[in-house]
Amino acid sequence: MLTGSQRAAQKAQTPRVIWFTGVSGAGKSTIAALVEQALHAQGKHTYVLDADIARTGLNRDLGFTAKDRQENVRRLAECARLMLDAGLIVLVTSISPYAQSRLAARDLFAPGQFVEVFVDTPIAVAQQRDPKGLYARYAQGQISQLSGLDAPYEKPTDAELWLDTTQLDAGQCAQQVLLHARMADFD
């Protein structure tokens, strides 16, 4: 059986997990897509592991209780670990509302393999964006347990990268991630 190091060497890159966290509508998926496009243009082997997409398949049996949200993050982290072993740069987009769940995800990886990116967006801004219509549905009483409103979102205190989306647009945020990637020797 091949090792992760052999797979990474074949791809001529250092695999990493870049874990984007923030409330719904923060811009995690948009930023990750821009980062992936840029890395792809550089010949890097990547994969965006989007929690919303995972909930339609791998995690379709999970709801939005605290326990289910923690399990959602655990499964995403395990998938990311497998992808990292395949030699990929994995971009995970997940609200991941609990600090303990993010720490448990980080603990699956060797030092330096996991980069937490906090996409910091005030709830009021996320509500204005509302790309999935979740905040509108919440306001109409159609859904509950929305992270940052009536369900917790524990902001990271030790993320490797903090992106303030009130100061930077999605393209600028992606550039910050790519700059950090170069500084962290992702090549």
Task: Report the candidate in 129, 63, 118, 115 with the shortest Cα–Cα distance to residue 96.
Answer: 118
- Give the Cα separation of 4 and 62 in Å (integer): 30
Task: Report yes or no: 171 and 32 within 8 Å, Cβ to Cβ.
Answer: no
96 annotated active-site? yes
Catalytic residue from among 29, 96, 101, 147 = 96
Task: Report the candidate in 112, 45, 113 with the shortest Cα–Cα distance to residue 77.
Answer: 113
Report how many domains make up the chain: 1
pLDDT at 187: 53
Mean pLDDT of 125-133: 89
pLDDT at 34: 97
Quote the domain boundaries for residue 49.
4-183
pLDDT at 77: 98
pLDDT at 184: 61
What is the domain-level CATH number for residue 177? Answer: 3.40.50.300
Sequence-distant contacts of 38-44: CB under 8 A, at least 24 apart: 38/174, 38/178, 39/89, 39/178, 39/181, 43/12, 44/11, 44/13, 44/89, 44/186
The pLDDT confidence band at residue 49, using thresholds 50, 70 and 90, is very high
- The token duo for 179 is 């700059």
The pLDDT confidence band at residue 186, using thresholds 50, 70 and 90, is low
The tens digit of pLDDT for each residue in 111-121 reads: 999 999 999 99
**Mean per-residue pLDDT over the chain, rounded:** 93
